Amino acid sequence: MTAVDDKRHGSDDERVAIRALVPGVADEDLPFGGRRRVGDRLMRELGGGARAAAPARRWFRRPAGLVVGAAACAVALGVAASLLVSGGGGRVAPVTPPEPAAVRLLDRVAVAAQRAPEPVVRDGQFLYTRTEGFAAVLSEVSEDGRMESSRSDQSLERWESVDGSARTLERYPGGGQDTFDAGKGTLVDPTYRFLESLPTDPEHLLQMFYEDAELNHGAGTDSTLGADQGTFVAIGDLLNGVECPPRVSAALYRAAARIPGVVLVPEATDALGRKGVAVAREHDGERTEWIFDRESLRLLGYRTVVLKDGDWGKAGEAVESKAIIARGVSDRAGEVPRKRS
């Protein structure tokens, strides 16, 4: 089974394989029958023009202009079979419910996340995160407009102020670095103290993401993502970008399980080549995947793959990928914690 097999038919061999990869998934839950964080993703949405490979800072923070689309208020939160009014001509289209297999996996991930030990974090400290990854970049290589795709290294080390009282530090490959004001935190750019304040009821939490999306990027924006994909991406960026309190991580996974169109991907590979199982959502010819270790259910990272051959690559190729290497708590920005996870 390939990463881009959209028309899965569910043979007996496939069912046996998926049950082996994802324990606890029943036959009736199997996902057969059909069912962007940086400026590079924005350029893919807008469709072209010359692109130069430039360093992307805070690459795991999806730009605000892409978080949602115009239909946020139309989504009935947590209701799988509701109807969504489209942006054109008043057409009404059925919402694809989340796959039972994906819901079940996210629930298992949530249970594992909630059991993780609560980190001891003091004001004035920094959350340390080390990631490795890449993003695809398109460049015009000839006068006739021929485009060529290449990879921009998006690896970094990050020290984020726990309480927003100090500047956040990022270091990039080659020795470059930058600092940012942390502030008090928001849903798309949180501090640890902000995350601690979030509700742990999944439906309430999901509603916050949809409301925030509509407030900032609702009707009249240029975003093509739509509310469901925007919310899925925003939650994924948060989980991949910064360590959350265990109870909040669990609530975020359970909230994501309520987003229409979420599916199970039995096999996925992160930027380090680590193999796992993923939950994902497709949008506009791409599939964004959250990748988990099959045994521990720990989040390994994410990737976005294209579903059809095109300028960005062949079907199944990753156009973005990020692997979480280490996390911890530091007393000072620039100091690597002794214990890494």
What are 209-224's pLDDT values in tens digits? 988 777 665 567 777 7
Of 210, 181, 233, give the one whose Cα is nearest residue 61. Answer: 233
SS3 category, 15: helix
What is the model's pLDDT at position 222?
A: 75
What residues contact 321, with CB distance under 8 A and at least 6 apart?
A: 133, 134, 270, 271, 301, 302, 303, 304
Residue 4 lies in a domain: no
- Classify residue 3: in a domain, yes or no: no
Q: What is the pLDDT of residue 317?
A: 92
Residue 311: per-residue pLDDT: 82
The more confident residue out of 266 and 34 is: 266
Domains of the chain: total:
1
Confidence of residue 140 (pLDDT cuts 50, 70, 90): confident
**Candidate from 91-105, 226-240, 292-306 with smallest mean pLDDT:** 91-105
Per-residue tokens: 252? 């975020």
Look at residue 96 and tell me if it is in a domain.
yes
To 5 degrees, how large is the angle CA 256–CA 27–CA 318? 50
Q: Which residue has the higher pLDDT, 223 or 30?
A: 223
- Kindly state the average pLDDT of the residues 298-315: 92
For the segment 286-292, the average pLDDT, to the nearest whole number, is: 98
**What pLDDT sits at residue 219?**
64
Residue 1 lies in a domain: no
Q: Is the pLDDT of residue 73 over 50?
A: no
* pLDDT at res. 211: 87
Q: Look up the domain containing 295 and give its range.
A: 12-330
What pLDDT, on the 0 to 100 scale, is given for residue 235? 96
Q: Does some domain include residue 338?
A: no
Is 303 part of any domain?
Answer: yes
Q: How far is residue 234's CA from residue 71's CA, in Å, rounded to a whole number?
A: 16
Residue 111 located in a structural domain:
yes
Q: 3-class DSSP state for residue 71? A: coil
Query: 280 versus 229: which is more confidently predicted?
Result: 280
Residue 11 or 148, more confident: 148
Complete DSSP assignment for 204-241: HHHHHHHHHHHHHH-TT----S-HHHHHHHHHHHHHHH
Residue 324 pairs with which residues in a beta bridge?
A: 131
Specify the pLDDT at position 170: 97
Q: Which residue has the higher pLDDT, 74 or 101?
A: 101
CA 72 to chain centre: 18
